[in-house]
Amino acid sequence: MKLSKKQLAATFMTAILAGSVMIGSVATVEADNASGSPEEQADITNWIANTPEQISNNMAMQHINTNNLNGTRYIIQWGDTLSGISAATGISVAKLCYDNNIQNANLIFAGDVLILNREGSVPASYDPNVNPNVVAQTKITINNGPTTVNITVQPQSVVKNYDNSDNSDHSTTIYKAGAVNSFNNNDNDNEQSASQSSSTKSAKHQKHTSSVSASDIVSGLNDANNNDKLSFDEGDGGSDADELNVDSAAILKDAKKNDYDAILSEIESALGSKAKKDTTVYIEKDGNEIHVYASVNDDADSSNSSSTKDDEDSDSSSSSSESGSSDDSSQSSSDDEDSHSQATTSDQDTDTSDDE
Amino acid sequence: MQKKTKIIISVLVAAMVVIGGFYLYASRTVAKRLPGHVYEYTSVSGNQNAYMTFATSGDQVVVTPDKDTAIKASNSASDFQQAYQDNAKDGKWNYKAQGNRLTLSKLQNGKVSMWQYNHMLALGKKMRSGNFTYQIANAGQGIDHKATKFEQIR
């Protein structure tokens, strides 16, 4: 069959147009991998912090020139952290928070837009109070299959940190999305509505808790405290302080009831043996959560531990947790982040099938 | 019973024993294969990777998207500790392998997230998980019925 010149030209043009559309759609998908099925969202790779190089690559995929950042919009990807974005762009974490009205670095969300702006400065008094190493969160709870599952095989350090006899009841772990989006520049309609609803909820919740501040709790604890080894202050205590594993909700509830003896008891319990040492306890209020940190001032304590503050932490874990440890406890105990309390003797190794 | 029938039954039984033995072997050796080795994990979508260096002893694991970091961590115990501490700011990772399950946990800001890989089969340098159960702090929990791969690269 012989094609005319017109037919050839039409075929050629169609191929070019179809090709450009396909390339465009592929590029869009590659540039924004922040969406995906629940299976993909739950994948462990999304919860590992990206390296600055990876973030630079993500920005390049979004056609962002990191040498010219003047109000540039970047779609946050899974695994992004503020510290990583800061390293990739050269913009300080404080500037990123300031420009994007981020009150808490735990609240950057995959799929949100982050404004990157090298211009301008941050007021000296601005303190975003952030942990810039937390990976981007999700606004939508990632539930796939049953809404409550049980992890039967758990690392020893987890067993020691939490009473996992019922996995749904981790005092410090919330297995659902619901954090408030603190951005003021979100242009994703669907997520914006989700954000608004959660913001509304948060505002209501804030109303209930606004009467109690960190300073109120510190003041109440100082009044209630009879232990001259313990002192209380506001803040996070800096790098020398370790976060205690306490029930934030219970502390807030007790604070509202002015039951500072109960809070003191909770903190002393979390402190373990540290309560007998010269320790400063720091209280920090982060939205509706209370964070408690402890810094041991006792020199003798630090000289006992061979290396790090982690050893101090394992100091405070009770002997029952030690006795519950098994073959791999020796190494894990030296590096547990928060092994202050809630030691458990439950046998987590019971291998009941729950995975179907 | 005819001789031919006996032979067929014997062959079938032998095949079942071999397959069953292979399955038992492949599903019970996961824990032995991890310490001191580096594995490349391939995500559900197949287009993302993570690298995991398992401690020679203990339950620590360095989990990173950077292959070089993972390889370096496997050089010696001190290199492992260095990498582990360097990555601690992004969360402390631990693991436990038992039977045909492998669980990885991440502890950060006092919150723990866990991924338990179920029905793992190990053969040679490759391991495959039939599905995984997850509990992710401030995100959700559930079961993903998607296969994932682990390949030993060192």
Q: What pLDDT sits at residue B35?
A: 95
CB of A20 less than 8 A from some CB of B: no
Find out whether B130 and B102 touch, Cβ atoms under 8 Å. Answer: no
CA–CA min distance B114, chain A (Å)? 8
- Lowest-confidence segment of A122-131, A181-190, A270-279 by average pLDDT: A181-190
Find out whether A126 and A98 touch, Cβ atoms under 8 Å. Answer: yes
Find out whether B37 and B152 touch, Cβ atoms under 8 Å. Answer: yes
d(CA A245, CA B96): 22
Task: Give A302: exposed, middle or buried? Use CB within 10 Å, 0-12, 13-18, 19+.
Answer: middle
Binding-face residues of A in 147-166 toward B, CB within 8 A: 147-158, 161-162
Q: Give me the phi and psi of A13, to 5 degrees please.
A: -65, -40
Amino acid B153 reads: I
Q: Each residue of B34-85: pLDDT tens digit?
A: 999 999 999 998 989 999 999 999 999 999 999 999 999 999 999 999 999 9
Q: What pLDDT sits at residue A172?
A: 65
Are A49 and B91 in contact (CB < 8 Å)? Answer: yes
Q: Which of B66, B138, B145 is opposite residue A179, by nearest beta carbon?
A: B138
Tokens of A268: 């002393």
Q: Percentage of chain A surpassing pLDDT 90?
A: 19
Are A138 and B107 in contact (CB < 8 Å)? Answer: no
Structure-model confidence comparison of residues A91 and A312, the more confident one? A91
Q: Each residue of B113-146: pLDDT tens digit?
A: 999 999 999 988 999 999 999 999 989 999 999 9
d(CA B131, CA A78): 21
d(CA A329, CA A15): 63
d(CA A238, CA A302): 17
Q: Each residue of A217-227: pLDDT tens digit?
A: 887 787 777 77
Minimal-distance CA residue of chain B relative to A135? B90
Q: So what's the ipTM on this one?
A: 0.92
Q: How many domains does chain B have?
A: 1
Q: What pLDDT sits at residue A149?
A: 87
Minimal-distance CA residue of chain A relative to B141? A143
Q: Which residues of A touch B97 (CB under 8 A)?
A: 153
d(CA B101, CA A288): 37
Name beta bridge partners: B41. Answer: B50, B150
- Lowest-confidence segment of A177-191, A330-344, B41-55 by average pLDDT: A330-344
What range defines the domain where residue B130 resides?
3-152
Q: Which of B49, B103, B138 is opposite residue A137, by nearest beta carbon?
A: B138
